[in-house]
Amino acid sequence: MMIERLREYVGHETPTGDAAALNAFADRLERRYAELGATVHREIIETGDHLLADFPGRGPLAGDAPLLFLGHHDTVWPIGQLASAMPWRHEDGVIHGPGVFDMKGGLVVLETALAQVAERDHRPVRVVVVADEEIGSPSARPLVTRAAEGVVAAFGLEPPHPNGDLKTSRWGSTRVRIAVTGREAHAALDPKSGISAIDELVDQLIAVRRIVAEHPDVLCNVGTITGGGRTNVVPGAASADIGFRFVDPATERAVLDAVTTLTPAKAELDVQVMSNRPAWEPSAGTDELLARVIEAGRSVGQEIGGAAATGAADTNLTGWLGIPTLDGLGPVGKGAHAVHEQAVAATLAERADLVAAIITSV
C-alpha cells in the first residue's frame, strides 16, 4: 500500500514554483489529512499553497502540547522528468524516481504512521507541508514560525543520514543575490561612456571570496551568473546568486553583514538576501529528545542514532528557535537532487513504525 501511494505521489510531478501542479498535489494531501481526522488550513500563496493540518490527540494525552512534523511537496525536478530521465522503477528492493527520497517518501511515511495511531492514545499532532522548501521556504517561514508556537518537539521528514541516523543539527543556509546596474555604451566607438556591470560583478565576487576566506568553516557557492547580451555593447546589467552555509549564527552574521554592505566601485549595487535558514546548533533539548526517540525505536525493534548534518531544511528554524528538533524521518536512500535518486523500499514501513512510536510515546 505504501509503495502504491508513493508511486501515485511521484507520478504527480511538483516542481518548485509551478503553482498549478503544487496546488493539485496539495488537494490530494488536504483530502488525505481530512480523511485521517485533521482540521486542515490552506495558506494561499501565488507560487504554490502551503498546508497546516492539526490532528487531535486521543485519550489522557489529548490535552497535551502537540508534536510538529515538517514536510514539503515541491521537488527540484521539472515536469517531464519522470517520463524522460527518471522513470519510476521498483526493482531489487529499491524504488527510483523523482521525489521518492526528497521527500514524497517522507510524506507517505507520515500519513501511514498517522493511520496507525488513529485508535491509540497520543498527544495532538500538527503537520506543516510547504511548497517552496527547495528554494529555502521564503514564503513559508512565517507559517512554520506560527505553527511552532507551543509545540513540545519538532520533527522533519527529510531523508536521514545514509545509515538511517537522524539529524540533530544543521548548518545555516542563505541565498544572496548581487545585482549590478551599469551603463550601456558601444564597446568600440564609445567605451568610456559605459560602465560594465559584468566587470563590477566580477570585482564584487572576488570581494566575497576574500570575506569567506576569513571564515574557514563557511561554504560558498556562486550558483548562477547572468548579464550582458552582446560583445559589442558594454553590459548594463549583471547579477549572481550565491549560496552560503554557516556552522553557527555568529559566523553567519559576520559574513552576511560584510556581504550585504559591499561597496561598489563604479556601478550601482543591490545586494539582497533571498532566503535564509539560520544555523541550528546542537542542544541539550535535542539530545534529550533523541534519547526518547531511541527508546521509541527500540519499542518497534529499531536501533536509531543521531548526528549533525550540513544540509539545511525547515527544521533549521525550529532548532534555532530553541525547540527540541530532529530531522531525517524519511526513508533510507540516496541521490537527493540527482538523477539516481532512490529509496530503499523496506524502510518505508520501518520509518512509519518509528514515527507511529514517536507519536504515541514522546
Going from N- to C-terminal start, the domains of the chain cover: 2-170+280-361, 172-277
Which grid cell is 279? 544555523
Task: Identify the pLDDT of residue 33.
Answer: 98
Nearest CA to 167 among 356, 319, 51, 299?
Answer: 319
Task: Identify the pLDDT of residue 172.
Answer: 95
Q: Rounded to an integer, what distance in angstroms lies between the CA atom of residue 80 and that of residue 246?
A: 34
Task: Identify the pLDDT of residue 220.
Answer: 97
Within 8 A by CB and 6+ apart from 16, the residues are: 22, 47, 48, 74, 75, 76, 131, 132, 133, 134, 135
- Residue-level length of the chain: 362
Query: Hey, what amino acid is at 123?
Result: R
Q: Rounded to an integer, what distance in angstroms lies between the CA atom of residue 350 and that of residue 332?
A: 10
Percent of the chain with pLDDT over 90: 99
DSSP H or E run through 89? strand 89-91
- pLDDT per residue over 207-223, tens digit each? 999 999 999 999 999 99
Q: Rounded to an integer, what distance in angstroms lies between the CA atom of residue 80 and that of residue 91?
A: 22
Alpha helices in the chain (DSSP H): 2-11, 19-35, 104-116, 141-147, 197-213, 249-259, 284-299, 315-320, 346-361
CA dihedral 290, 293, 297, 303 (to 10 degrees): 0
Task: Identify the pLDDT of residue 187.
Answer: 96
Which grid cell is 329? 524521518
Q: Rounded to an integer, what distance in angstroms lies between the CA atom of residue 144 and that of residue 285?
A: 19
Task: Identify the pLDDT of residue 32.
Answer: 98
SS3 63: coil
- pLDDT per residue over 230-260, tens digit each? 999 999 999 999 999 999 989 999 999 999 9
Task: Identify the pLDDT of residue 234.
Answer: 98
Nearest CA to 127 among 110, 140, 115?
Answer: 110
Query: Hey, what amino acid is at 296?
Result: A
Query: Of 3.30.70.1450, 3.40.50.150, 3.30.70.360, 2.60.40.1180, which CATH number belongs to 172-277?
Result: 3.30.70.360
Q: Rounded to an integer, what distance in angstroms lies between the CA atom of residue 81 and that of residue 87?
A: 8
Segment 40-62 mean pLDDT: 97
Pairing assessment for the beta strands 219-227 and 89-91 based on DSSP bridges? unpaired
Segment 255-266 mean pLDDT: 96
Task: Identify the pLDDT of residue 229.
Answer: 94
SS3 13: coil
Which grid cell is 98? 523523482
- pLDDT per residue over 78-125, tens digit each? 999 999 999 999 999 999 999 999 999 999 999 999 999 999 999 999
Average pLDDT value over all residues in the chain: 97
Is the CATH number 3.40.50.150 carried by domain 2-170+280-361?
Answer: no
Segment 14-28 mean pLDDT: 98
- pLDDT per residue over 114-161, tens digit each? 999 999 999 999 999 999 999 999 999 999 999 999 999 999 999 999
Peptide bond connecting 2 to the previous residue in cis, omega within 30 degrees of 0: no
In the sheet that 219-227 helps form, which strands lie side by side, from edge to edge?
A: 219-227, 237-246, 172-181, 268-277
SS3 198: helix
